[in-house]
């Protein structure tokens, strides 16, 4: 059906395609994740979750910090 050399060529071609596909997959996965890492909000103190913990003596109750934001 197929000669030995054509099977070897097909095997090498499939192996190279697998390697290239793997690199492409990892590259796109890394590129997608890198687009959203360490994005600073435009106005960080007026939007999102804002809290302030001083860890000072009066603001602590049994080693638990009280929330002093308002």
In the structure encoding, which two tokens stand for residue 2, read together? Answer: 């197929």
pLDDT digits (tens, 9 = 90+) for 10-67: 999 999 999 999 999 988 888 776 655 566 667 666 666 666 677 777 778 887 877 7
Domains of the chain by residue range: 4-65
pLDDT of residue 66: 73
**Given this model, what pLDDT does residue 40 score?**
67
Q: What is the DSSP letter of 62?
A: T
Q: Is-contact 67 49, C-beta < 8 A?
A: no
Q: What is the pLDDT of residue 61?
A: 81
Of the candidates 18, 40, 22, the one whose C-alpha atom is nearest the C-alpha of residue 30 is: 22
């Amino acid at each position: 059906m197929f000669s030995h050399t054509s099977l070897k060529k097909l095997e090498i071609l499939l192996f190279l395609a697998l390697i290239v596909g793997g690199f492409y997959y990892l590259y796109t996965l890394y590129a997608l994740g890198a687009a959203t890492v360490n994005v600073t909000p435009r106005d960080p103190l007026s939007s999102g979750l804002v809290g302030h913990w001083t860890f000072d003596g009066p603001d602590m109750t049994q080693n638990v910090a009280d929330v002093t934001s308002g």
